Structure formats: structure tokens, C-alpha cells
Amino acid sequence: MSSNSAIRVEHVRKVYDGHGKSFPVFEDVSFEVKKGEFLAVVGPTGCGKTTLINLVAGLDRPQAGNIYVDGVNITKLPEDVVSKLRRRKLGVVFQVSNLIPSLTVYENLELPLVFLGMSRDERRRRVEEVLESFWISNYVHRKVATLSVGENRMVSYARAMISDPEILLLDEPTDFLDPLTEDMMVASFKGKILKGKTLLATTHRRKMAKLADRVINLKKKLP
């Protein structure tokens, strides 16, 4: 594998099991995202976009195949090692928010930095910097539970960026945003904030797919 590979998905098979039945999502998916590249994944509802993001984030495991993140085969690593690698290298914006509703925006953004062992002053500087970059400094002391769905999405995006990860995984990141905020987020993908970063983003939106360096189309598997 070349050293400029950020993500490599190799012959991945994913099947969900439940109630004695198996639900195949994909049989054999392969693709690569080079460092600094922006790859969009499109496809109809239920084709496996979120499943793919979870697999690349190491939150779920495939039945077959290999997934490499920055050259490391995450399918072969124990869970705690995958978590560490995720904390260091990946930022994830989930389709369904994973922010902690009872905490403030500041506290949600600060938490990953606590795990990284940053001092309180460094954490404050970093949180303020990221909030400013995403035009959401005015939410800083709000409880996440009180945010609108679109506001929550912007905070999730800021949180994914908080540890300055090399790779961003974005699952329908512009859902729930008004057209202006959507434009600002999409523009940021090619802007200074994300310069040099690798992006893997699922989307239903043409605007975003247009901006990507490449687009792959996942087909829905018929039952």
C-alpha cells in the first residue's frame, strides 16, 4: 500500500444478524482515499453509508475484508487500540448526534481534549479557536439539549475537528442545515480550516458531491 493512502477498504463484507435472520448490506466493497483527498459516498437510503462510516471509524467490524486507516489494519486490532487510534487520527460527525445533551457546548468540545491530556489553558484556547472557526462562539455556554437540530450539527462538526484530526468522517453532515449554513459548511471543506485533511463524507446533496474530488455510488442490496 502506498504511504499516501489515508483510508483503504478492501473486499469488505458486512452482514447484520438479528432474530435468526441475516441482513447483508454489502458483499464486496473496495476503495481507497488518498491523503488530502475528499471522497463523497452517495447512494439511496439503506444502502449502507452509515454502516461504512462506522466500519471505517472502527465502531463496527466487517465479516470479511480489511480496513486500513493511515496504513494500519484496524480490523485486526483489539478494541482499545482502535479507540486510541480513532482519538488521535479521526474526527467523526455522526448522522445522529452523539453530543452529550446535559453538558454545555464548551464541555462537549473540551472532553476529547481532556482524554488527550491537554492542560486546562490549552483546552480553553483550542475550544475558543474552533468555535470561532465555525461561527458558533455565541453557543458556547448553552446546554446541548437546548440547541436546534441544525445548531447541534454545527457543534458536532466543531467537535469532530477539535483534536485537529488528519481524517474526517462525515455522515450526511449538511442534513438539517438551512441553505446558507449548508453553503458555509460545504465551503469549509475546501477552505483553510480543512487544508490538507482527508475527507470521507456520505451525502444525498448534489452540492457536496460536486465539490468532492471523487464520488462513489453504493448500490442498495435487494433482500
Ligand X SMILES: Nc1ncnc2c1ncn2[C@@H]1O[C@H](COP(=O)(O)OP(=O)(O)OP(=O)(O)O)[C@@H](O)[C@H]1O
Binding site for ligand X (CB under 6 A): 16, 18, 23, 25, 43, 45-51, 95
Contact segment (CB under 5 A) with Mg ion among 41-49, 54-62, 84-92, 183-191 equals 41-49
Tell me which of ligand X, Mg ion, none is bound by residue 78, counting a contact when its beta carbon lies within the kind-specific cut-off of 5 to 8 angstroms: none
Residue 94 main-chain phi, psi, to 5 deg? -80, 150
Binders of Mg ion in range 92-151 (CB under 5 A): 95
Tell me which of ligand X, Mg ion, none is bound by residue 69, counting a contact when its beta carbon lies within the kind-specific cut-off of 5 to 8 angstroms: none
CB of 29 to ligand X, least distance (A): 12
Among 50, 104, 137, 181, binds Mg ion (CB under 5 A): 50
Tell me how crowded residue 166 is: count the other CB atoms within 10 A of its CB: 16
Does residue 139 contact residue 106 with C-beta atoms inside 8 Å? no
43 binds Mg ion (CB under 5 A): no
CB of 201 to Mg ion, least distance (A): 12
By beta-carbon proximity to ligand X, the closer residue of 105 and 208 is 208
By beta-carbon proximity to Mg ion, the closer residue of 46 and 191 is 46
By beta-carbon proximity to Mg ion, the closer residue of 44 and 191 is 44
Nearest residue to 166 via CA among 197, 142, 205, 206: 197
CB of 186 to ligand X, least distance (A): 18
What's the full length of the chain, in residues?
Answer: 223
Strands (E), 19-129: 21-34, 38-42, 64-69, 72-73, 90-93
CB of 37 to Mg ion, least distance (A): 21
CB of 49 to Mg ion, least distance (A): 5
By beta-carbon proximity to Mg ion, the closer residue of 63 and 95 is 95
Does residue 167 contact residue 7 with C-beta atoms inside 8 Å? yes
Does residue 215 contact residue 30 with C-beta atoms inside 8 Å? no
DSSP per-residue string spanning 155-208:
HHHHHHHTT--SEEEEESTTTT--HHHHHHHHHHHTSSTTTT-EEEEE-S-HHH
By beta-carbon proximity to ligand X, the closer residue of 26 and 139 is 26
Nearest residue to 163 via CA among 101, 56, 91: 91
